[in-house]
Structure 1
């Protein structure tokens, strides 16, 4: 069994074992401060709409204010009416849009995700150590969890239908805030065509544990549960790799957090 309960040292060994296998797409990692938490996006935890078109209407409505106050700027096309025509044009149109198209306003959505606005993007890292930092940074329970996600197996294929939710992996090559690159961030989005409109859905409805007896697998999830009692050991080791709040966020607040933790350990 690859995943399950383990210590920090066992986790590193198991991840190395997984990473050395060439069974499919590259692994992505996500750390969560409680092992009891589901794989939820910040949009799912908010009061905002999960209807895809209505969500785009929302973020485009606030875009002028975001650009004004942040001095950032993103392309204005496609507009909401164009998105609605493309996305609600039918399942086939929506499926092509999600599989082959350019996710509308991706850079803008990445910025919103990194700065606290509810987002359908579930953020991952290409580094298990970055994920470990986020798991242990503010551990909330007896155990933390680090997830590893593999979208495709060695065949490189994915299958689905118009009555099933599907996960789309969005690549790292997007103009984003500095922390996007520092965190080696990538994102996934889970969607489903429901009757006449598409909606964002929960990743846990799609992800499945690895099955050694199954030949072809997609959207495989590995869950590692580690004790929060190892927090100090883990964060001290990650500090040796210069993985701390300031290196991952780059803000003045994160600098103060990093200095506080460093000095507390020095006492």
Structure 2
């Protein structure tokens, strides 16, 4: 007798969904992150009480979603977070001592999910007889960037950055005008709760066997340094790399473009993002955790522990639990009526000139990537870039 195959859920269900929920006792914001693991869908739901409402943040773990005739169905295992430590999950009775007696906390809910490409409706019944519903939306994170760009020559770019206030802005160089997304989200992962509590424990164990320093996961500075080190060695993280130097950003934008490609008639443009980090830090809270916490985009400067690249690259990172970063930044821009992010496109055909001038400034692979890899890449650029 052959085992029946589990019906696969349509791909549009996967990703990050955000919206509002209303339940028997309370209401607020909800984030649902869903992803594929092997042949089934897993994820998490995070419920944040409306501002001014004295209720806990509740996290729901989704270990399986089943496709039915009238939508999809799942069991959500619920657990509140500690009132003073949002990263610590605790038994319901511990938080019930803090909140009003009429706030009851369920441990399990049966939910039905209906969705189309951009909208989702969720209805649930909990094990303590409470009901709730939520309406959520999901943007396509793979769509083209919405940020209006300014095209300028390399010489014009140099004049532009020379007039900027020192260290008010940070920069990010990209080979193409891709949408801003973290490495974690570009892998089609979404569930940062599972990533934070499961995957990072595995990362910590493996890297601890290969580093002289044993990183303390309980210390946000040290754990941030571990994440940054892992990111620089290819491990997907919810970080987006930035630099205080517009010229280092230009190096990363042009770095992997062959000279032959830059000489094509329609070679296109590279992109450099310019971000007003000073005003962003002043207007928005900078949060050093990914889950469970409300959506955020936080600028972090990590300790350079066993990471020789951080200082020469003048690097810092944005830590984010948001998949569609550009829409989030746009929302904040509309709220504060201030433009934070700008996009500058420079012709790819200027690649040879740019790399030669950057080398004269001392910005090369050898200087930015201390070690054999960087030295060999610098020599390859100098001797074989044809």
- Normalising by structure 2, what TM-score? 0.52
| Structure 1 residue 202 corresponds to structure 2 residue 342 | no
| Structure 1 residue 8 corresponds to structure 2 residue 154 | yes
Q: CA deviation at 1:19?
A: 2.7
- Aligned residues: CA RMSD: 3.3
CA distance in 2 between counterparts of 1:155 and 1:180 reads 21
Q: Which has the higher strand share?
A: 2
- SS of the counterpart of 1:147? strand
Assess, with a 3 A threshold, how the Cα gap between structure 1 residues 155 and 203 changes in structure 2: closer, same or farther: closer
Task: Give the alignment of 1:169-248 within 5 angstroms.
Answer: 169-191=299-321, 200-208=322-330, 216-217=337-338, 220-248=340-368
Q: Which runs of 5+ in 2 are unaligned?
A: 1-147, 262-266, 287-292
CA distance in 2 between counterparts of 1:117 and 1:40 reads 15
Q: What is residue 73 of structure 1 aligned with on the other side? A: 213
Q: What is residue 17 of structure 1 aligned with on the other side? A: 163
CA distance in 1 between counterparts of 2:280 and 2:208 reads 42
CA distance in 2 between counterparts of 1:157 and 1:27 reads 15
Q: What is residue 42 of structure 1 aligned with on the other side? A: 183
Number of residue pairs aligned between Structure 1 and Structure 2: 226
Q: CA deviation at 1:119?
A: 0.8
Assess, with a 3 A threshold, how the Cα gap between structure 1 residues 124 and 210 changes in structure 2: closer, same or farther: same
Q: What is residue 268 of structure 2 aligned with on the other side? A: 142
CA distance in 1 between counterparts of 2:197 and 2:355 reads 38
CA distance in 2 between counterparts of 1:154 and 1:185 reads 17
- SS of the counterpart of 1:207? helix
CA distance in 1 between counterparts of 2:215 and 2:336 reads 43
CA distance in 2 between counterparts of 1:64 and 1:155 reads 33
Q: What is residue 98 of structure 1 aligned with on the other side? A: none
CA distance in 1 between counterparts of 2:335 and 2:200 reads 41
- SS of the counterpart of 2:163? helix
Task: Give the alignment of 1:72-91 within 5 angstroms.
Answer: 72-78=212-218
CA distance in 1 between counterparts of 2:190 and 2:152 reads 38
Q: Which runs of 5+ in 1 are unaligned?
A: 79-100, 192-199
- Contact map agreement 2:182 2:320 (CA 8 A) in 1: no
For residues 177-199 of structure 1, what are the alpha-carbon distances to aligned partners after superposition, in whole Å with 9 as ceiling and x for unaligned? Answer: 000111010011223xxxxxxxx
CA distance in 2 between counterparts of 1:159 and 1:66 reads 30
- Normalising by structure 1, what TM-score? 0.73
Kindly name which structure, 1 or 2, has the bigger radius of gyration based on alpha carbons. Answer: 2
- SS of the counterpart of 2:273? strand
For residues 189-247 of structure 1, what are the alpha-carbon distances to aligned partners after superposition, in whole Å with 9 as ceiling and x for unaligned? Answer: 223xxxxxxxx433212224998x998526x1110001111010000000001111111
Quick one: higher RCO (CA 8 Å, sep 6+), 1 or 2? 1
- Contact map agreement 1:155 1:216 (CA 8 A) in 2: no
Structure 2 residue corresponding to 1:131, chosen from 241, 249, 263: 249
Q: What is residue 166 of structure 1 aligned with on the other side? A: 296
CA distance in 2 between counterparts of 1:62 and 1:102 reads 16
For residues 111-164 of structure 1, what are the alpha-carbon distances to aligned partners after superposition, in whole Å with 9 as ceiling and x for unaligned? Answer: 11110000101010010000000001113862100111113439933379xx97
Q: Which has the higher helix share?
A: 1
Assess, with a 3 A threshold, how the Cα gap between structure 1 residues 6 and 175 changes in structure 2: closer, same or farther: same
